[in-house]
Amino acid sequence: MAEHRIPNPGVESSSPSSRAFLTGTFSIDNRLQVNMATQNSAVSFLGALSQVSLYKRTQGRLVRQLTALTIAVIVLLGAGAFSSEVMRGVASSVAPFPTSAEELQTSSAPMIQGLLRYGVPTLLGLLGCWVAYRAVNYPRFADFLISVEAEINKVSWPSMGELKRGTIVVISVMFSLGITLTLYNSFWYWFFKVIGVLEDIGPSE
């Protein structure tokens, strides 16, 4: 008896256009999910900025403190450069300094210039330090730093004696290579000078 198979309409009858449509739909869905995850992460980080609690305060303390300190130093250096390079010109254009002594006594330009040049960068620096403090307590970033410190603790660091012996070996090898290369250079210079390839270069007249 001949066997009759019933075709599967969902597999065999699907046209290339329908498969392309489904593939495009899936890719759009994936992009939407990624965008939504990114937006949710950004919203949760902004929400973490308004908190003061510490996340896993006893774990990964060294790496987290160094990370926060590094971010704070970068922010403060940027605030100082912003004050001297940008806000100085802005303050001078917004509140020109008075040219006479009478105007200087009654003018508020020096105070406005001081607030613009030093007040705004100071606020930005304080805000950046707070962001650095909250960043190392943000759960996702804090867990990453905790895992980094855990991996660092697994490293087998050499003892002081091993460090001294390794340093002596490296310095000895460097001096030996330097002496060897100097001898080779002197020998080949003498050899090529003897066969007439090189000539002595006397002082220019």
- 120-152 confidence digits (pLDDT tens): 899 999 999 999 999 999 989 999 999 999 998
Q: In this predicted model, what pLDDT tens digit does every residue of 10-42 receive, in sequence order?
A: 444 455 555 555 555 555 555 655 555 555 555
**Average pLDDT for residues 192-197, to the nearest whole number?**
85
Structural domain includes residue 9:
no
106 pLDDT band, cuts 50/70/90, is low
Residue 7 counted as domain residue: no
In a domain, 178, yes or no: yes
Do 133 and 169 fall into the same domain?
no
Rg (CA), the chain: 35
pLDDT at 13: 47
- Whether residues 122 and 190 share a domain: the answer is no
Q: Are residues 29 and 80 in the same domain?
A: no
End-to-end CA, the chain: 113
Instruction: Give the CA diameter of the chain.
Output: 117
The CA–CA distances, whole Å, from 109 to 94, 122, 125 equal 9, 19, 24
Domain encompassing residue 39: 22-51
Same domain, 73 and 128: yes
Handedness of CA 61, 62, 66, 69 (dihedral sign): positive
Considering the domain boundaries, does residue 12 fall inside one? no
Same-domain pairing of 74 and 117: yes
